[in-house]
Amino acid sequence: MVAASKRKTSLILDAAILDAARDLGINISAVADAALQRAVADARRRKWLDENAEAFVAQAAWHARNDHPLSDISASPDSATRSG
């Protein structure tokens, strides 16, 4: 496995929370890294959804007009198959 490169940075954090975290043995760098990874992933997901919103609307409109291409063979929990 390849180790991720690391870079030193400075953060401004609430002093009381920082002291409490250190007293409790919390790895502040690991927590910050994990939180930043989640924030980046969430931001990328939102950006992708925004960039593709028009395609989702077009796809939904197409399905509203034409139904799903496999709707006649797709099974649902309350029936064996759907038919048009």
Residue 1 has pLDDT above 80, yes or no: no
CA distance 21 to 33: 15
State residue 75's pLDDT score: 67
CA–CA dist 16, 65 (Å, integer): 59
Contacts of 75 (CB under 8 A, 6+ apart): 81, 82
18-33 tens-digit pLDDT: 999 999 999 999 999 9
Section 53-62 average pLDDT:
94
Over residues 53-63, the mean pLDDT reads 93
Average pLDDT over residues 27-44: 97
Domain ranges of the chain: 23-66
> Closest by alpha carbon to 32, among 20, 21, 42?
21
Examine the pLDDT at 15 and tell me if it is beyond 90.
yes
